[in-house]
Amino acid sequence: MSNKLSCCRALRTLPGNRHLPVVLLIVVCSLTCVPLAMAGGDAPGWMHALVNAPLPAHDEKTNAVLLYSETTVNVISVDKVKTQVREAYKILRPDGRNNGIVGVVFNPQKKVTYLRGWCIPAQGKDYEVKDKEAVEVSLTDVEGGELFSDVKEKLLRIPASDPGNIVGYEYEIEEHPLVLQDVWYFQERSPSRETRYSLQLPAGWEYTASWINHPEVQPVKTGANYWEWTLKDIAGIRAEAAMPPFKGVAGHMVVSFFPPGGHVAGRFVSWREMGDWYTNLTIDRRNASPEIKQRVATLTSTIPAPLDKMTAIAEFIQGEVRYVAIELGIGGHQPHAAAEVFSHRYGDCKDKATLMSSMLHQIGVESYYVVINSERGSVTPEMPAHVGAFNHMVLAIKLPDDVSSPILIATMQHPRLGRLLFFDPTNDLTPFGQIGGYLQSNWGLLVTPEGGELVQLPKLPAENNSIQRTGKFVLDTNGTLAGDVTERRFGDRARSQRTALRSVNRAADRIKPIENLLADSISTFQITKANVINLQHSDQPFEYQYSFVAKDYAKKAGDLLVVRLRALGTETDGVLETKDARKFPVEFSGPAKDVDTFEITLPTGYVVDDLPPAVDADFSFASYHSKSEVQGNLIRYTRTFEVKELSVPSSRAAELKKFYRIIAGDERNTAVLKVVTQ
């Protein structure tokens, strides 16, 4: 995800061509301008050996299969590692053509020394494309922010990447590593026939290999300090809606290298050691300049309560320090000095966390870095310590013993450090005391002077992420429904609306979300009034107030009127309404609780003839309750939808499908009105 909530681009390390969809839209125009390679230039023998090779297991929806992949890592010294990669795909369907675009990331510490690609068509001569025909692009896109980075990508388009053809490539990287680790991503979206990983270490060096989402496989030692792992027939990972992040389900191996002679920079194998490594990167970064001290005094000197002081600092970081990432070299991991961030009034996630930590220290409040991945599920306690697991930075604030408030929700009791409040300074629309759903129940590396520790961030009560919708309507004898709606949003429900509207200048455009909501629920309507409340006040509930008229909302059936009681809003989801069996868990964005209350005043001369039954669907992962009742001359319909668990395993997919179908049935339920008999 390329937005400012996953802002450490240097930490988003992905293998070779497997991350190409992230940048594909950027380079399509550039690549179409690259001239096609001339026929000729025979593909190498290792590719031709694959022409008649059997394909791995696949189905009719498979776009391409990986026939062969080979990665050779040669660790020359602590300052130099060479990696050679060769891969070949067979294109099966038109959508598989993207496998003919090779993307190799590089930076001043990582040079691409060789790059070449070939196509073996089903008929005709081979095509070759050389390094000089590649284009280079800078990775500078961050949704909701800005990024300047020395990380670039070399892209090579292999011509004739058509169904039935084989495309392949080779490249070599020479790197000055920041950490003595490598990650072998052997499982990807395409099924793989055979994939290999080879490791060459200098004399006296050792390694450890940790397997993630795959049983451990022992290597074959083929020479002095030379090991080779081979895997065959690896299933591809087909995307499913609401599935865990790719890194959380794909098989990969983390390899750590250990030179003789003890500790060297960039060497760690445990979370504690990784915390030590990061502590060394951040020494003196939080030192306060005179200007920082003066600004803290200005912000807090007239505020007596410690919590209010902390809130004032948080709001300063959120509102006055713009998100801009300058990530050059080690800057992808190492924050800029607090004084520099304060002076420029911009920084990325780790920069904003650093400045906030420095300012909190000035009022006697300590805080700690928490390195995390903004996609929950990318990191689990079973994983080994490795830098590539993370892409974001937040703070854990040690709350003073005398600070207590109901607004401090995102807290945990640490056995050694006491109460810790988690806060994301980059998220400028979530108020102090809370965290977004992407952080809840997520695992992060807490960095303290004693080293690193993997901790699970708290899950907030569902009520803190909710939509509370109240509607009062009048139905006439022609079936027209008219009335007023008040809709209050909290937590991520509020943040998403503020994000959508923050760049909207025209008042008329601010009601677009209301129009979309009504369009999903009512076929014909006219908005007669609409207001947005608390758009700029993220510490308050976001609110819509609107009125509308919907003709023919109730349907006539002779002397009867049939009216749907669920006037607005949809809680059901068709995520599991597919022919294919579910393979991965279904992930919710966070705990949530929505409450709808609709009152419909009956038309003159009508009474209720039939009401739908109450619904009570209660599962461990979520619940849904609704009921309808007559109160005088009106019908009152209420319902509550709550997400309680953030992940539903595939073994319970049938239960979740049943749950959503129960909701869908209730959302279609109607009341029947009849004419009063004299």
Write out pLDDT tens, residues 434-464. 999 999 999 999 999 999 999 999 999 999 9
Write out pLDDT tens, residues 76-118. 999 999 999 999 999 999 999 999 999 999 988 999 999 999 9
pLDDT at 21 over 90: no
Average pLDDT score over residue span 178-202: 96
Map residue 511 onto helix, strand or coil.
helix
Q: Does the domain spanning 463-675 belong to CATH 2.60.120.1130? A: yes
Which residues belong to CATH 3.10.620.30 in the chain?
273-460
Q: Rg for the chain (alpha carbons), in Å?
A: 29
Which residue's entry shows tokens 């461990």?
A: 620
Write out pLDDT tens, residues 283-320. 999 999 999 999 999 999 999 999 999 999 999 999 99
CB atoms within 10 A of CB 18: 18
pLDDT at 607 over 80: yes
Q: Are the CB atoms for 231 and 186 separated by under 8 Å?
A: yes
Full-model pTM: 0.91
Write out pLDDT tens, residues 638-663. 999 999 999 999 999 999 999 999 99
Q: Does the domain spanning 9-267 belong to CATH 3.30.1360.70? A: no
pLDDT at 19 over 90: no
Question: 124-133, 176-185, 263-272, 512-521: lowest mean pLDDT where?
Answer: 263-272
Selected from 2.40.50.100, 1.20.950.20, 3.20.20.140, 3.10.620.30, the CATH number assigned to the domain covering 273-460 reads: 3.10.620.30
Q: CA distances (Å), 418 to each of 83, 411, 509, in order? A: 45, 10, 47
Burial bucket for residue 385 (CB in 10 Å: 0-12, 13-18, 19+) = buried
pLDDT at 139 over 90: no
CB atoms within 10 A of CB 564: 20
Write out pLDDT tens, residues 351-379. 999 999 999 999 999 999 999 999 999 99
Which residues belong to CATH 2.60.40.3140 in the chain?
9-267
Which residues belong to CATH 2.60.120.1130 in the chain?
463-675
CB atoms within 10 A of CB 456: 13
Q: ∠ at Cα 111 (168, 133), nearest 5°?
A: 50
